[in-house]
Structure 1
Amino acid sequence: MPEPARVTRARRGPTVHPAAVGLPALGLVVAVGAWWLVTSGLSLVHPAALPPPQAVARSLSNTTGVLLPALGITTWMTLLGFLLSTAAGVLIGMALAASRRVERMFAPLLVAVNAVPKIAFGPLLVVAVGWGQKPILTMVFLLCFFPIVLSTATGLTTTPADLAELARSLNASWWQSFRKVRFPAALPQIFVGLKVAMPLAAIGAVIGEFYSDRPGLGYQILQYNGVGDTATAWAAIVLVALMSILLYSALTLIERLALPWVRATTSAR
């Protein structure tokens, strides 16, 4: 495509191609069909472990009054924990990028914390921070912060050489160079970390609810699985998956609206 046409399309804003909706829908149909084939058609998996999709759909319709409020709680915990992780992760990433000495001091500690299986922190969080929202938000933070820190630090330390030279030639101050050149150039990389962290935030919220008294989807999964109602437990799992898809898609849309110049100046599809 000629360059003027690409720039014009970027100025008009992102367009929704029919394939952007049709292909995900087709993928969902294929996944549900494979699920039905494995559980009902070929009976390769026992219904106690993985109920067929029609059983999960019935359980979802019968427990809407319980699962939908739980979905609202889990969505709020996911978003709140993700926003807190974003704020802290970007600040920590900026600190690592600003000082080589700070990076050498704290990067190994960040890697060590990220390497510990987060499920191991679950029982300890209840003792450390108590019941309620705190263990959930802490678990979300533990899962989300590392990719955000890494992407921010990477983006800020890989500013294109021509842009950095331009800022120096204009005698820009450190703050002007950071605000006008380094941070905008790092935003595509930062959004990569954010998109990695968003599904992790949903995972963290569900794990945190295993050890909390908040009746979110994680709490419902644990309760229904405990009484042997695996169909309803899987219905809650399906809602977690749908919530994650919607939140990830919303973040991708925000990226396209906030960074239209990326698609206009790169070979992005």
Structure 2
Amino acid sequence: MKKSQSIVSNMEKKKSFHFLITISWLLLLLVIWQGIVVGFHVSDWILPKPTSIAQQLYDMKDILWPNIWQTLQEVLLGLCLSILLGAAVAIIMDVVPIFHVLIRPLLVISQTVPIVAIAPLLIVWFGFGLLPKMLVVILICFFPITLNILEGFQTVDPNLLKLFKTMHAKKWQLYQKVKFPAVLPYFFSGLKIAVTYSVMGAIIGEWLGASEGLGVMLTRATKSFLTSQLFAIAAIIVGLTFILYTIVELLQRLVAPWIYRKGEKK
């Protein structure tokens, strides 16, 4: 018991140490950035100082939240639907092998067509509301989730499946007891990829037609050559993506903690 507590304590210390190194490294990069801009007298419209970006964020505080919330709605709704749709399609392809042959090429094709070519069509078909932005997010996030779940199904131990079948386990029991637990690491890997693309998908949708959102703010800042504002909005997008990624990691720790235990043992 004492040994396991000591291992856990050492792991927590190691994580804290890594976190401090990461924060220190990021702060050092910001200091170097500030020093270069100030030292070489670079104009803010070419490359703004980190302090100028921070000031811009403070100046925009009253208009930021409504735009962040608009983009966040598109991202969260699109992600949730991507997970449901991706899981459903992957399960159907696993249950009925012929669908694997029929649907897989369509999944690949969906990723070869540029989103910037599809997004205007979605605007034409569904208007300028929330739906076309959600669909852009779904088109971007659906593929990695579906593909990773399929990969997970293919790595399930066949001997374990045979054992459950000899015990007369039903189809849904095979999924509940064997396949779903085995697929979780792959599902979360796909979700981590999807969540990093989701914000970008919402931004692309807003570029092509919206009245509110971070994409709209980004477009206006670009057209007005407001470089400090452009960097400030980009920082919010990066921060939002990082928060979503961290939430997925926390969910993975809660739902499938054995994944991290295996990694820590290595």
Give yes or no for TM over 0.5: yes
Q: Does residue 176 of structure 2 align to residue 179 of structure 1? A: yes
Q: 1:31 to 1:214 in 2, by over 3 A?
A: farther
CA distance in structure 1 between the aligned counterparts of 2:77 and 2:18, rounded to whole angstroms: 28
What residue in structure 1 maps to residue 145 of structure 2?
148
Q: 2:226 aligns with which of 222, 226, 229?
A: 229
CA distance in structure 2 between the aligned counterparts of 1:165 and 1:267, rounded to whole angstroms: 31
What is the one-letter code of the residue matched to 2:260?
A: R
The size of the alignment, in residue pairs, is 262
Q: Deviations over 1:109-149 (max 9, x none)?
A: 11011112212223222111101111210111111000001
CA distance in structure 1 between the aligned counterparts of 2:24 and 2:243, rounded to whole angstroms: 16
Q: Deviations over 1:208-258 (max 9, x none)?
A: 111232411111011122122121122111001001101100110000011
Runs of 4+ aligned residues of structure 1 deviating over 6 Å after TM superposition are none
Q: Deviations over 1:176-234 (max 9, x none)?
A: 11111111111111111001100111111111111232411111011122122121122
What residue in structure 2 maps to residue 25 of structure 1?
23
CA distance in structure 1 between the aligned counterparts of 2:43 and 2:119, rounded to whole angstroms: 30
Percent identity of the aligned residues?
29
What residue in structure 1 maps to residue 72 of structure 2?
75
Q: 1:49 to 1:153 in 2, by over 3 A?
A: farther
Please give the secondary structure, in 2, of the residue aligned with 1:51.
coil
What is the one-letter code of the residue matched to 1:76?
A: Q
- Return 219-228 or 235-244, whichever deviates more: 219-228
Unaligned 5+ segments in structure 1 are none
What is the one-letter code of the residue matched to 1:19?
A: F
CA RMSD of aligned residues (A): 2.6
Q: Does residue 131 of structure 2 align to residue 134 of structure 1? A: yes
Q: 1:34 to 1:265 in 2, by over 3 A?
A: same
Could you state the TM-score of these two structures normalised by the residue count of structure 2? 0.88
CA distance in structure 2 between the aligned counterparts of 1:244 and 1:111, rounded to whole angstroms: 25
CA distance in structure 2 between the aligned counterparts of 1:209 and 1:20, rounded to whole angstroms: 37
How far is 1:39 from its partner?
4.0
How far is 1:15 from its partner?
5.3
CA distance in structure 2 between the aligned counterparts of 1:125 and 1:49, rounded to whole angstroms: 35
Q: 1:124 to 1:188 in 2, by over 3 A?
A: same
Q: 1:34 to 1:83 in 2, by over 3 A?
A: farther
What is the one-letter code of the residue matched to 2:122?
A: L
What residue in structure 2 maps to residue 107 of structure 1?
104
Please give the secondary structure, in 1, of the residue aligned with 2:47.
coil
- Return 147-156 or 32-41, whichever deviates more: 32-41
What is the one-letter code of the residue matched to 1:27?
A: W
CA distance in structure 2 between the aligned counterparts of 1:252 and 1:77, rounded to whole angstroms: 21
CA distance in structure 2 between the aligned counterparts of 1:32 and 1:255, rounded to whole angstroms: 31
Q: Does residue 169 of structure 2 align to residue 169 of structure 1? A: no
CA distance in structure 2 between the aligned counterparts of 1:18 and 1:248, rounded to whole angstroms: 19
Unaligned 5+ segments in structure 2 are none
Please give the secondary structure, in 2, of the residue aligned with 1:131.
coil
- Return 210-219 or 176-185, whichever deviates more: 210-219
1:174-253 equivalence runs, <5 A? 174-253=171-250
